[in-house]
Amino acid sequence: MAQITGYLTPAQAAAFQNHAASGGLDASALANLLIVRELRTKRLTILKIDFDIDLPPGERMKITAHQRLDTTKEAFVAHAAATGLKPSPAAAILFRAELKERWLTFSLGVNQFDSV
């Protein structure tokens, strides 16, 4: 099984897991959605300006996207390389951006209109 792992601070990792759970997903499922979304939207170059940070090895936790097929991983590795990044930092950028943007919440229509 192919995997793409991104590293977040412990607080960010907990927030990411909670955010995923709020949409009925586990962290791996949300990570996969974000990776597939990135392959379609190609925003990584813009996102890395605000969300690319180095974490000391002792202060990071991993979030792993488990994929059934190698093709998604291969495409993401190539996409990350085209932006000058390795896959792990590229994934972490997407995960951090989601903590700010809350695309999942918006996509699921959570907290939308009350009944009229």
Convert the pLDDT of each residue in 10-44 to its tens digit: 999 999 999 999 999 999 999 999 999 999 999 99
Task: Give the predicted TM-score (pTM) of the model.
Answer: 0.90
Token readout for 90 is 């590229």
Q: Please, are residues 99 and 19 in contact by the beta-carbon 8 Å criterion?
A: yes
Number of structural domains (the chain) is 1
Say if 78 falls within a structural domain. yes
Domain range enclosing 37: 2-108
Phi, psi of 2 (to 5 degrees): -75, 150
Say if 113 falls within a structural domain. no
Largest interatomic CA distance in the chain: 51
Band (112; pLDDT cuts 50, 70, 90): low
Residue 102 has what pLDDT? 92
